[in-house]
Amino acid sequence: MEKIPILKLGEILLVSIQVDMHDRLAITLQDDLTARIVKDRARGVLIDISSLEMVDSFIGRMLGNIAAMSQALGAQTVVVGMRPAVAITIVELGLSMQNVRTALNVERGIEMLQRAVEESEEDTTHEPSGT
């Protein structure tokens, strides 16, 4: 069965969507990613959509779901590389994607994730000690 590959880079899982996804493939990716976050104890997920020529409400919802689920599993998600035409269309479509963090490209996305991971680490080390 066709799958979208998930790469591990330290604490970050990297997904680059290179194909025009049909709905089942998108759902498979969502399932695989949540499973991998738990298995690899990932702290961040980076989804590169710079190859995607369109994002409809289904794919948009999938991206939102991944962000929400990873959050629940203790990982941050950043979506990177959305093309201008795709962004304009999503806005017109009425998809807000409010809960999804975005960055211009993979480099900036990784920076963003590393900062987020560091911040959340500070939080977790301070909280239990109560100092």
Partner 1 sequence: MTKSTSRLNDILEKNEKEILDDWMREQLASGTLRKDLITESELRKQSAELLGLIINATRSGNVTEISGTEWKPVLDFLAATSKTRAAQGFSPVETATFIFSMKQPIFTRLKKEAGSNASVLADEIWVATVLTDKLGLFTAETYQKSREEIIRRQQMELLELSTPVIRIWEGILVLPLIGTLDSSRTQIVMETLLQNIVDTNSGIAIIDITGVPAVDTLVAQHLIKTVSAARLMGAQCIISGIRPQIAQTMVHLGVAFGDVVTKASLADALKYAFRQSGITVT
Partner 2 sequence: MSLPGPETLELKTSEDVVRARQRVRVCMKDQGFGLVDQTKMVTATSELARNAVDYGLGGTMRIESLEEMGRIGIRLVFLDHGPGIPDIDLALTDGYTSGHGLGLGLGGSKRLVNEFEIWSKPDEGTRVTITRWR
The contact set with partner 2 (CB under 8 A) reads: 20-24, 53-58, 60-61, 83-86, 88-89, 92-95
Measured CA angle at 45 (ends 41, 47), to 5 deg: 150
CB of 55 to partner 2, least distance (A): 8
From the list partner 2, partner 1, none, partner contacted by residue 118 (C-beta under 5 to 8 A by kind): none
Residue 103 interacts with partner 1 (CB under 8 A): yes or no: yes
Coil vs helix vs strand at 82: coil
In the list 46, 59, 80, 113, the residue contacting partner 1 (rule: CB under 8 A) is 80
Q: Which is nearer to partner 1, 45 or 86 (CB)?
A: 86
CB 44 within 8 A of CB 76: yes
Coil vs helix vs strand at 52: coil
First to last CA, the chain: 51
